[in-house]
Each structure stands twice: as structure tokens, then as C-alpha cells.
Amino acid sequence: MSNRESIPNKRSSPSEQSNPKGEKENKRSKPKAKADPSRDLKIYPIRIDDDKLNSNSDKYPISSPVHLHLIVGRVKSGKSVLLNNLYLSERFFGKDYKTKILISSTAFNDAVNKYLLDDFDFVFEEFSEDLLRELLEIIKQDEGNGRFLIIFDDIINSGQNFKRAGQTDLLTKLITTYRHIGNKDFEGKLAIAMAVQYFKYLNPIARNNASAYYIMGHFPESEVKKMSEALSIFGRTDDGFQQIYNHSRKEPFDFLYLSVEHLEARRNHDELLWDTDGFKFNNNIELDDGNKSNKDNENQNAIDEKSEQA
């Protein structure tokens, strides 16, 4: 008998044809496990000592004293006036910091800074990582719960201070950890305010860690559109954000205050424009109407951008 004849003519069964890998059919029909209703699967908050967080001051509707404020506005938009009010007046944060530090290349050239210079403990005209590293070491060595404030005024341009040859720079690291900066007994010893002229100078890490934004002055529609793409959490959509922006512009030096901490948008600090319950104004408007006041600034803004690129 040949080898060929000795092999039985085996035919696969219908079940084997439909299941060529030979897997058992009863695998699919295995009964689904049921959750035990007596098990407690809730997520509970962690109990911590609020005093150690060092940020228990209620200043609603503005931010708590430990914050990252991002202030965006061109020249003559009112940024310096805002900084003077926020960090010198007792109505805001004037008495919340043990030590105040200003880092600004124009610190001694702007007459509006006179009162900041008189009140602040340290003023530096140049930014460097060595300077920042030294300041952070001073904060960590400081005893007690006294807070520090650092204002970075127009030191960021084209994002170069956020980039270090593929590595995370110290300023970016600080932005992600500032809430926890402190000594062995207290964290929350640092607040940061960062003022820039262009929204694009703020990298995604800075935007994601912000406590609040201050949008100062007027911007061309193209710039507002960039902001809306990143900040549409206010208004829920790009169009919703643009409507909020338009409604925040009534008087020459009005600003848009966007509180990430409270999820609110306000004209200045006073007029609530939007919260999680929705718009606080009639939002059935033509978006272009709100941008008419921006048209006079668009040509100058375009010139500024070309000059910067040059």
C-alpha cells in the first residue's frame, strides 16, 4: 500500500470550517461576570491639611494667591497698569506675598513701573536660567509659609525661552510645578505672572497650567481666532469664545478676564459674560460687529509682526 493510500480521507466538519484556528466555540458563549453590588467602588477625596497647601485664601472671582497669570497685550494695552493694581493694591494681592520679584528688560524705562520698583524687593533686567535657579533655591530654603511672587514681563519672545535643544527648560519645569514649590513644611510658596505681547509666545504647557488669562487691548480677527482655538473651553466653541471676546470690548481699556480656576469669563473683573451655565448676554449677534473696533489696529499689528520677523 502506498503512503498516499494509507492516509485517510479526512474532511473537516462544518464547525471546524467556520473555526479554522480550532478555537472552542464555547469561549464566546462564556457567561459575562457580574459586578458584586456590595462592593464599594466610589472614588473618595484625599484628606489633606489645607494649611500646608498655603492657598486657602478665598478671593473669588479673582484667583487664589498661588496662581499662574498669563497676560497678553500689545504695547500701550494696559499691562503695566494691570500689574500695578493686581500686585500693589490690597484690593487684590498687595499683601499676599512676603517677597516680590520683577524680571523685565524695560523695568527702568517705563514710567508706569515707578511704584512697582518702589515696592518690589528685587528687580532684574535680564532673565537667565542661572538667575531662576538661584531664586528657586532661595524660596526652597525660606522658612515658614511666606509666599513669593515672580513677574516675568516681556521676557518671552518667539518662544525662545521655552526651548533648549530638545530638553525641557527650567522655566517650563517651573510652570508645571510652581504650585508645589516650597519647603519641607509648606508648599504653595510661589505665584507667577507672565506678560507677553503675542498669544503665540505662550507654549501649550503654559496654557495648560494657567489659573487665569488677561486679554488686554485689541487684536486683529486672525489673532482672536488663534486664541479661540486654544481657549474655546470658554463659550464651548470657537464662535462662542469670539462672542465673549467681542462683548468684553466696550471701553478703550477694557480687558477680558478668563478664570480657569472658576471657569468664568468676565469683562474686566466685574461683568460676568459666561460661566458653565452659559452666556450671560444675548449671543445672537454678528461676530463681525464686535470686530469693527479692531480694524483700526490691524494695519499696525501687521506692521509689528513684519518688524518682528525682520
Contact status, residue 245 vs residue 224, Cβ threshold 8 Å = yes
Instruction: Give me the domains of the chain, ranges plus CATH numbers.
Output: 66-216 (3.40.50.300), 219-248+255-265+276-310 (no CATH)
Average pLDDT, integer, range 277-305: 57
Beta bridge pairs of residue 265: 258, 274
Express each pLDDT in 225-254 by its tens digit.
999 999 999 999 999 999 999 999 999 999
Among 10-14, 87-91, 250-254, which stretch is predicted with the lowest mean pLDDT? 10-14
Q: Assign 292 a pLDDT band (cuts: 50, 70, 90).
A: very low
User: What is the model's pTM?
Assistant: 0.77
Q: Where are the alpha helices (DSSP H) in the chain?
A: 3-6, 14-18, 50-53, 79-88, 114-119, 129-141, 170-177, 204-208, 221-231, 238-247, 287-291, 295-309
